[in-house]
Structure 1
């Protein structure tokens, strides 16, 4: 059976349900920010080894990259939930802002 697609609102609800039933409670916002930075660091390490000049350690592989991205999304969702921020609204606002700001910027960039 194929997993169903999840919306951003559904993601926020699913993470909240998990926190309430399995995670007991949210960590503080500051703790979750620190965890988010840790997860970004773990992704950065794998990216540097897979796409950069470093080599993998014996217990590392690029296969873990999707898991690290998932960890980042999970913790970011926790933070959004804690602060009452809709990820849907946030990304729509960001796309609108970037579109207005960059409408011709990249088209006219000879480096691209």
Structure 2
């Protein structure tokens, strides 16, 4: 699925099942909530915390999908092409960092 197809699929879902978009501010709050849920699982799976009873250690893909869904909602509401946004960021990062990471001694293999 392309970004364009994903944005259309989410828009179609919102208009048929979701009734209408939540406000941008509400979607931002939902995004922060979803990122928090993702972070909690990462902290338990890869960090020092342990899972609580009833928490699903395999829920990362679900939480990742939730984050992506809300990001797509926000992009749609704000008239942002996710493909164009990513392309622009890749170009910016390439121009800014083309030598930076190669020359970072912290990133060199011993």
The TM-score with structure 2 as length reference comes to 0.96
Deviation at 1:69, TM superposition (A): 0.3
From 79, 83, 86, the counterpart of 1:84:
79
Structure 1 residue runs of 5 or longer lacking an equivalent are: 1-5
Is residue 62 from structure 1 mapped to residue 57 from structure 2 by the alignment? yes
From 6, 9, 25, the counterpart of 1:11:
6
Q: Which runs of 4+ in 1 moved over 2 A?
A: none
Inter-partner Cα distance in structure 1 for 2:64 and 2:23? 21
The TM-score with structure 1 as length reference comes to 0.94
1:69 aligned counterpart, secondary structure: helix
From 43, 51, 61, the counterpart of 2:46:
51
RMSD: 0.5
Is residue 95 from structure 1 mapped to residue 90 from structure 2 by the alignment? yes
